[in-house]
Structure 1
């Protein structure tokens, strides 16, 4: 009887710890509003542009984004204060190939794939943000390609 009770207590404890680790839910609302999210191709790969119309900077920080099977950090644009950008290296840029490996210094390898924590379509991205010291996720939809 004691062994059965210990076994049941062990399973209960494992279940509680397992459920804490899998707390990756998509948020339905975020303390920010976005304009049309779009991406462009450049010589290095893809640039995802996230125009922000309003954001509560003191409440959240936009950290990273999953898009097209890769993950990249988000940076505030230097030209536009309301634009966040993420660059995804596809490895299609010019690379220096030389018999002396020192001459190839500066070549950037293509970005490795990184699976999104959620299933997304080609016109969707997962925005990773921090609110109250907790990492949260929000799905951006309707992403279009611009030239």
Structure 2
């Protein structure tokens, strides 16, 4: 009887700890109302635009986004306050290579790849946001390219 109690207790404790680790899962409901997300190319940068219809600034903060193997901060667009933009440095056509280090001064470091914590397709992104001081994740789908 003691063995059954021990096995049952072990299973119960194990399931408790594995369920606590599941808090990092994707949210089923969007933290705010979005319009269709899209990308644009500007020189050597890929910009991911996430238009927001309604957001409760006091409860929700859009932090960053994982997209196409990279991570970037989300910044509120100054010209369009209802739009957040993430910049990804995908190619550097303006890199200066020279024996003189002073000529290479303006070169930007390439953006390091950073995998998403979840499996996503090339037209999806993982939005990292804070809600009531808790970090959460939401998958943005059907991202289109506008060039």
> What is the TM-score of this pair, normalised by structure 2?
0.85
Quote the Cα distance in structure 1 between the aligned partners of 2:110 and 2:21.
Answer: 31
Consecutive unaligned residues in structure 1, runs of 5 or more: none
Quote the Cα distance in structure 1 between the aligned partners of 2:101 and 2:19.
Answer: 49
Runs of 4+ with deviation above 3 angstroms: 8-22
Which residue is equivalent to 1:130?
130
Deviation track 1:44-102 (CA, whole Å, cap 9, x = no partner) reads 22100001111111110000001111110000011111110000111333112221112
Quote the Cα distance in structure 2 between the aligned partners of 1:140 and 1:87.
Answer: 16
Quote the Cα distance in structure 2 between the aligned partners of 1:51 and 1:98.
Answer: 41
Paired residues for 1:1-147 under 5 Å: 16=16, 19-147=19-147
Quote the Cα distance in structure 2 between the aligned partners of 1:14 and 1:99.
Answer: 59
Query: How many residue pairs align between the two structures?
Result: 147
Consecutive unaligned residues in structure 2, runs of 5 or more: none
TM superposition shift of 1:115: 0.7
TM superposition shift of 1:24: 1.5
